[in-house]
Amino acid sequence: MRIFVTGASGWIGSAIVPELISAGHQVLGLARSDASAKAVADMGAEVLRGDLNDTDVLRAGTLDSDGVIHLAFVVPSVSEAATRTDAKAIETFVTGLTGSGKPLMISGATLVTPGRPATERDELIAAGPIAARITNMQAALAAADRGVCSCLVMLPRSVHGQGERHGFVPQLIAAARAKGVSGYIGDGTSRWPAVHVKDAASLYRLAIEQAPAGAVLNAVGDEGVPVREIAEAIGRHLNLPARSLPAEEFGGMLVHILSTDMPASSTITQELLGWKPTYPGLIEDIEQGHYFV
Q: What are the residue ranges spanned by the domains of the chain?
A: 2-157+195-218, 164-193+224-264+279-292
The one-letter amino acid at 74 = V
Question: For the whole model, what pTM was predicted?
Answer: 0.95
Each residue's pLDDT tens digit, 63-120: 999 999 999 987 766 688 889 999 999 999 999 999 999 999 999 999 999 999 999 9
Query: How far apart are alpha carbons 213 and 272 in whole angstroms?
Result: 13
| Topology agreement, domain 2-157+195-218 and domain 164-193+224-264+279-292 | no
| pLDDT value, residue 78 | 66
Distances (CA, A) of 28 to 6, 25, 58, 200: 9, 10, 11, 19
Distance (Å, whole) CA 228 – CA 183: 8
pLDDT, position 74: 79
Is residue 253 pLDDT above 90, yes or no? no
Helix (H) or strand (E) holding 150: strand 149-155
CATH says 2-157+195-218 is which class? alpha beta
For the cut 80, the answer to whether the pLDDT of residue 242 exceeds it is yes
In degrees rounded to 5, what are phi and psi of residue 133?
-70, -35
252 against 160, higher pLDDT = 160
Cβ-count burial of 104 within 10 angstroms (0-12 exposed, 13-18 middle, 19+ buried)? buried
- Give which of 11, 181, 208, 237 is closest to 103, Cα–Cα: 208
CB atoms inside a 10 Å sphere around CB 195: 29
Task: Fold for 164-193+224-264+279-292, please state it.
Answer: UDP-galactose 4-epimerase; domain 1 (3.90.25)
Helix axes 168-179, 227-238, angle to 10 degrees: 50
Is 9 within 8 Å of 40 (Cβ atoms)?
yes
Q: Amino acid letter at 134?
A: I
pLDDT tens by residue, 184-237 = 999 999 999 999 999 999 999 999 999 999 999 999 999 999 999 999 999 999
- Read off the amino acid at residue 21: I
Whole-Å CA distances, 221 to 16, 23, 177, 224, 278: 16, 22, 28, 9, 8
Residues 6+ apart with CB under 8 A from 148: 94, 97, 98, 100, 101, 102, 103, 104, 213
Q: How far apart are CA 106 and CA 219, in angstroms?
A: 12
- The strand pairing partners of 160, in sequence order, are 196
* 18-53 per-position pLDDT tens digit: 999 999 999 999 999 999 999 999 999 999 999 999
Cis peptide before 103, with omega less than 30 degrees from 0? Answer: no
